[in-house]
C-alpha cells in the first residue's frame, strides 16, 4: 500500500470506531480480515496512524473546525506527526486509493494550526467531562499533563531477577539499544521506532526464556513500594495477567507464598504461561469459583495485600489512547463504588502488623487520595505510611519527590516521572 492509501484506510477504520463505539484493536482486526492484501507493515502503519489520531483527537478536530474522521486524521498528521501542509497535500489525491485532495479550507486550517481560544480539555486532548477532575488534580498543569498522556510511550521491561540481572539483560538486548530506567532497579527502556513500532519481543530469546517481562516502570515501582519480603504471605487481590504478581515473587526470592486471584477468570489466563517462563515457584493462582474466588482461609493471615483496583485507567492513555474516548462519565462513579468495596474486603485479609497497598493506574483524586482517605476514616486499625518513608524503605528514596499533596500516597505521571500514570498508598494495620 502507498502512504496515501494507508491514510485513506486509517480514515475508514476511524469512522468504524466512532460509529460503532468499539475498541480500536477490534476495528483494526476486522479491517485486516476484509483487506487481506494488506501486509503486516501496512496494518502496523495504519494502526499507528489510528492511535496517533486518537491521541490528539480533540486538538486535531479543533484546528480543522470539524470532528469527522477525515478531519481528525488530517489534523493528527499536523498535530501528532508535525507534517507540513505541503507534505499532507501531496498525499491527498495522490492516486485512486488516496484521500480526496485538500480543500481550500482544509489547507488554510492546517497551515494555521491554531489552538488559540481552545479550552484546556482540547489543548490537553482529554474528554470534556473529565475537565473538572483534571483541574482539581493538576490545576494550571492540566494541559501539560494531558499532552504528556497523549504522547507515545516507550517499551519498558522488568528484568526477572529470578533468572538474571540487569547487566546481563542489557547485553542480551543490546541490539535494541536499551537504557536503564531512572528509578526502578529492575527496569530497561527501549524507544519506539519513528513509525511507532516497538521491538518484536515474542521472538526474542531473552523474553522467551523469561529473563525480562514487559512492564511499565511505574508498575514496577508500585510493586517495589509494597515492601514484600522473602517468607511473607502475600495476596494479590486483583492480579489480572500477573505483572505485579511476578514482580512480587521475584522480590520474595521464591520464598513464602503469593496468592494471585481476580474476580474475572479470563483476565487470569495469561498468568500461567508467564509463571512457567519466569521460574516463579512461590505463586498459587486462585481462580474464581462462581462469582468470586474462595479466600476464607486467608482472612487475617496476610503480611501484605496488594489491591491493584479497577479504575478509569487515565494513567495508561499513552498505551491505550482509544480508551480515553470510550470511557463514559458514569464509569467513574461505578469504579469508585467497586474500589470502596474491594478495599473493605482486602482489609479482612491483612493480619495485625501487616500492610495493605492500594494501587490504581488512574490520575484522578476521586479514585486515589479521596478513596484512601474515606477508607481510613471508616476503618479502625489502619494508618497510612508516609510516602517518602515508604520510598526510602523500598530503596528508591528519589520517589519521595512524588509524594501526593492531596493526601496519603504518591503519584506518578508521564509529565512528572516519564512513566505511566500510577497512584500507590501503603497502609499499616496496627
Tell me the CB-side half-sphere exposure of residue 72, using CA atoms within 13 A.
Answer: 23
Share of the chain above pLDDT 90, in %: 87
Contacts of 103 (CB under 8 A, 6+ apart): none
Predicted pLDDT of residue 291: 67
- Containing H/E element for 411? strand 410-412
* Residue with grid cell 498522556, as numbered in its chain: 149
102-127: b or e for each residue (b if 16 or more CB lie within 10 Å)? beeebbebbeeeeeeeeebbbbbbbb
Share of the chain above pLDDT 70, in %: 100
* Residue with grid cell 515492601, as numbered in its chain: 227
Predicted pLDDT of residue 336: 96
**pLDDT tier, 182 (very low <50, low <70, confident <90, very high otherwise):** very high
For residue 142, CA distances in Å to 28, 80, 146, 149, 359 come to 31, 19, 6, 11, 22
- pLDDT digit string, tens, across residues 224-273: 999 999 999 999 999 999 999 999 999 999 999 999 999 888 999 999 99
Average pLDDT over residues 28-53: 91
Q: pTM for the whole thing?
A: 0.94
Three-class DSSP category at 319: coil
**pLDDT tier, 95 (very low <50, low <70, confident <90, very high otherwise):** confident
For residue 294, pLDDT over 90 is answered with no
Predicted pLDDT of residue 103: 95
Question: What domains, with CATH codes, occur in the chain?
Answer: 3-118 (no CATH), 217-429 (3.40.50.150)
Predicted pLDDT of residue 194: 83
The torsion angles phi and psi of 425, rounded to 5 degrees, stand at: -130, 130
For residue 10, pLDDT over 70 is answered with yes
Average confidence score pLDDT of the chain:
95
Average pLDDT over residues 351-371: 97
Amino acid at each position: 500500500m502507498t502512504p496515501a492509501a494507508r491514510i485513506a484506510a486509517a480514515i475508514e477504520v476511524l469512522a468504524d470506531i466512532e460509529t460503532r463505539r468499539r475498541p480500536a484493536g477490534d476495528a483494526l482486526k476486522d479491517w485486516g480480515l476484509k483487506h487481506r492484501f494488506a501486509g503486516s507493515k501496512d496494518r502496523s502503519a495504519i494502526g499507528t496512524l489510528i492511535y496517533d489520531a486518537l491521541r490528539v483527537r480533540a486538538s486535531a478536530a479543533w484546528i480543522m473546525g470539524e470532528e469527522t474522521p477525515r478531519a481528525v486524521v488530517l489534523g493528527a498528521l499536523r498535530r501528532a506527526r508535525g507534517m507540513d501542509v505541503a507534505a499532507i497535500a501531496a498525499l491527498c489525491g495522490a492516486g485512486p486509493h488516496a484521500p480526496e485532495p485538500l480543500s481550500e479550507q482544509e489547507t488554510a486550517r492546517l497551515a494555521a494550526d491554531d489552538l488559540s481560544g481552545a479550552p484546556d480539555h482540547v489543548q490537553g486532548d482529554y474528554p470534556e467531562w473529565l475537565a473538572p477532575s483534571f483541574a482539581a488534580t493538576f490545576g494550571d498543569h492540566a494541559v501539560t499533563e494531558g499532552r504528556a498522556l497523549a504522547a507515545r510511550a516507550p517499551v519498558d521491561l522488568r528484568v526477572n531477577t529470578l533468572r538474571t540481572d540487569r547487566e546481563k539483560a542489557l547485553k542480551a538486548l543490546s541490539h535494541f539499544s536499551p537504557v536503564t530506567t531512572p528509578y526502578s532497579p529492575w527496569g530497561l527502556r527501549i524507544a519506539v521506532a519513528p513509525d511507532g513500532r516497538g521491538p518484536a519481543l515474542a521472538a526474542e530469546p531473552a523474553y522467551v526464556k523469561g529473563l525480562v517481562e514487559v512492564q511499565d516502570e511505574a508498575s514496577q515501582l508500585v510493586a517495589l513500594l509494597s515492601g514484600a519480603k522473602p517468607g511473607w504471605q502475600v495476596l494479590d487481590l486483583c492480579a489480572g495477567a500477573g505483572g505485579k504478581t511476578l514482580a512480587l515473587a521475584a522480590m520474595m526470592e521464591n520464598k513464602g507464598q503469593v496468592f494471585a486471584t481476580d474476580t474475572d477468570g479470563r483476565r487470569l489466563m495469561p498468568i500461567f504461561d508467564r509463571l512457567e517462563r519466569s521460574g516463579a515457584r512461590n505463586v498459587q493462582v486462585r481462580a474464581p469459583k462462581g462469582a468470586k474466588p474462595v479466600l476464607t482461609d486467608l482472612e487475617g493471615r496476610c503480611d501484605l495485600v496488594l489491591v491493584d483496583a479497577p479504575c478509569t485507567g487515565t494513567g495508561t492513555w499513552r498505551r491505550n489512547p482509544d480508551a480515553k474516548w470510550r470511557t463514559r462519565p458514569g464509569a467513574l462513579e461505578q469504579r469508585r463504588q467497586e474500589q470502596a468495596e474491594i478495599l473493605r474486603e482486602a482489609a479482612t485479609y491483612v493480619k495485625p502488623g501487616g500492610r495493605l497497598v492500594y494501587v490504581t493506574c488512574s490520575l484522578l483524586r476521586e479514585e486515589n487520595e479521596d478513596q484512601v482517605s474515606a477508607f481510613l476514616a471508616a476503618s479502625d486499625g489502619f494508618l497510612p505510611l508516609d510516602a517518602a518513608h515508604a520510598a526510602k524503605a523500598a530503596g528508591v528514596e528519589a520517589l519521595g519527590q512524588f509524594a501526593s499533596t492531596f493526601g496519603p500516597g504518591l503519584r506518578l505521571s508521564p509529565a512528572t516521572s516519564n512513566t505511566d500514570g500510577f497512584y500507590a498508598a501503603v497502609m499499616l494495620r496496627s
